Amino acid sequence: MREAHPIERRVGIEYYASDADGTGGRLRTTPEDFRVRELETMEPEPLEVESGDYPHLLVRATLRKWDTNDFARRLSDALGISRERVSWAGTKDKHAVTTQLFSLANVDPDELSGEGLPSIGGADLEVLGRIGRSLHFGDLAGNAFEIRVRDADADPVDAITAELHAFVAGETEAPDRLAGANGDGAGTADIDTGTAAGDSPVDVAVPNYFGHQRFGSRRPVTHEVGLCVARREWREAVLTYVGNPAEAEPESTRAARAFVDDQAESADPDWNAALDRMPGALRFERSMLHRLAERGDETPADWRHALEAVPRNLQRLFVNAAQSYAFNRIVSERLERGLPLSRPVAGDVVCFADADAPEGLYRPDTDRTQVASERRVDVMSRHCERGRAFVTAPLVGTDTDLADGEPGEVERDVLEDLGLEPADFDLPDEFHSTGTRRAVLLRTRVAVDAAAGETERDGEDGADDDAYDLAFSLPSGAYATVLLREYLKTSPREL
């Protein structure tokens, strides 16, 4: 197996599914290079229905260079309503063209049509109808992606696609009919791999890692904070977040964090001085330091009080990132031991596919699980082969039951190495987590156009001979970067 990039290995991502060389290249040269469209699950009522029963307007927005939170704030300002009356199903990248749903509470549809439509640059709005409740995070089946990779060497694309196709079945090498007669990917354009021969999509799979951005792109420490929280190491959690400088940060930030580390080693720390040095943009770090300066640092309760200065969603994210890191480690350990991701072995916990998912979307339903006993392994393997079931690993929490057999041994070994067990997540307030399970394999259909650079796109100045396009759909909770990394094989900071 090909080892992952060193930065990825810091967050538990140890391997690639494909051994072929990467294409390199750049993403998001223009917003049009990265298009994301939500796969919608909401079916609104007509605008004419009684608004008392359906008080929320459902709006589809196509956004260019808009962060989701910033757009929600801009839209609420344009309508003269509070930000709390705007909800959405998923957060999207700013450097992209995105199509996503928003719900607006108690807004007259006339305000969003004709002359009443707010003029917001880079945004097109379409009123779809009414719904009875606001959108909740996760109210989408998944996302469809159309991505252009520029300044790339497209030669390995066919070989990568073939190897990822083989990974669906748990094979370590692409069959000759996919890899080409000489084994180097030549000839692949003559078969149905979704390349320049006709863009027909082909089934591929990759390890269902949590992407690097889950942990912090420039400074991946969120999971380290969460691990400290799970161990009730409140002091270490605060210092990991506020101190602990990273090489990728600006010099002034590194100096401020180093000063925090110095104060932590001092017998009489000056947290006010540390607060003065911390850049204003790092408001969460400043909030923690303010609480330390105000209350002191004598007890674990003082340090926990400092950590809780951040918003509740970030408190939850700390623990979620720790769970994600442990999951990545478990997936990597399975690969290291030669345990398949595409089919179960005895003891695995398998979940079934979501029967209500849109056609062609491989979406696991982790609320429906079954243990693959010795007697059931062959039957469950056939379900997995057809995309009807998925092997899972735990996002460990208080309600987690670990697997049996060798899969359970992997899970226990990783948790022991991290100094964790399920009961450790019986934490106070927002840090508490019951846990769940997650599929270890991410399966999709990808269409690849290795000759994409010969054509122009909207918003482009001209064609780019060193470009290729990828089109695929992923279920909610999956990361496009874990597929893109297989093609580019570059630093995660470039994804």
Check if 93 is active-site.
yes
Residues near 299 by beta carbon (within 8 Å), at least 6 away in sequence: none
Alpha helices by DSSP H, 106-199:
157-168, 176-179
Among residues 415, 186, 223, the alpha carbon closest in space to that of 174 is found at: 186
Cβ–Cβ < 8 Å for 20, 160: yes
> Environment class of residue 323 by beta-carbon count within 10 Å: exposed (0-12), middle (13-18) or buried (19+)?
buried
> Environment class of residue 413 by beta-carbon count within 10 Å: exposed (0-12), middle (13-18) or buried (19+)?
middle
CA distances from 30 to 24, 94, 340, 490 (A): 17, 11, 38, 19
- Of 93, 297, 348, 424, the catalytic one is 93
Residues near 58 by beta carbon (within 8 Å), at least 6 away in sequence: 42, 44, 101, 102, 103, 127, 128, 129, 130, 131, 135
AA letter at 113: S
Give the C-alpha separation, 489 to 156, whole Å.
11
Among residues 163, 146, 184, 181, the alpha carbon closest in space to that of 449 is found at: 146
* Rg, Å, the chain Cα set: 24
Q: Which helix (H) or strand (E) holds 124?
A: strand 123-131
Among residues 204, 200, 191, 197, the alpha carbon closest in space to that of 161 is found at: 204
Residues near 357 by beta carbon (within 8 Å), at least 6 away in sequence: 141, 142, 363, 475
DSSP state of 174: -
Cβ–Cβ < 8 Å for 147, 34: yes
* Helices and strands (DSSP H and E) totals, the chain: 14, 13
Give the C-alpha separation, 377 to 383, whole Å.
10
* Strands 34-40 and 97-105, sheet pairing: parallel
- Residue 208 DSSP SS3: coil
Instruction: Return the structure tokens found at 472.
Output: 């695929």
Give the C-alpha separation, 231 to 244, whole Å.
19
Active site residues per annotation: 93
